[in-house]
Amino acid sequence: MSDLMALVDDVAFHGVAQRLAARLLQHTRPVEVTHQTLADELGTRREVVSRILEACQRAGLVRLGRKRIEILDASALQSLHRIQGT
């Protein structure tokens, strides 16, 4: 029940990009997870997660592979997490 309440709070008060950045920063590096798993954890669709991750890859924040996300610039990802929350 507490997990559900935390998810509702995140969805209501934080953007998907912010929640995704926070989730990636919680994982060990490299992150071994599918886009679908991330979407399920964040309460959104896989397509949304893929679109945000692809934008992060173009910006040089992450490198995407099959079931693998390598964080290239953790400080910029942390900034995305903070900026999206304001």
CATH number of 2-84: 1.10.10.10
Predicted local distance difference test score (pLDDT) of residue 13: 46
Q: In the structure, what pLDDT confidence band is assigned to residue 27 with cuts at 50, 70 and 90?
A: confident
Residue 12 burial by Cβ neighbours in a 10 Å radius (0-12, 13-18, 19+): exposed
Give the mean pLDDT of 14-34: 85
Cα–Cα distance between 4 and 10 in angstroms, integer? 10
Query: Is the omega angle on the peptide bond into residue 30 within 30 degrees of 0, that is, cis?
Result: yes
The pTM is what?
0.76
Cα angle 50, 58, 62 (rounded to 5 degrees) comes to 70
- To which H or E segment does residue 62 belong? strand 62-65
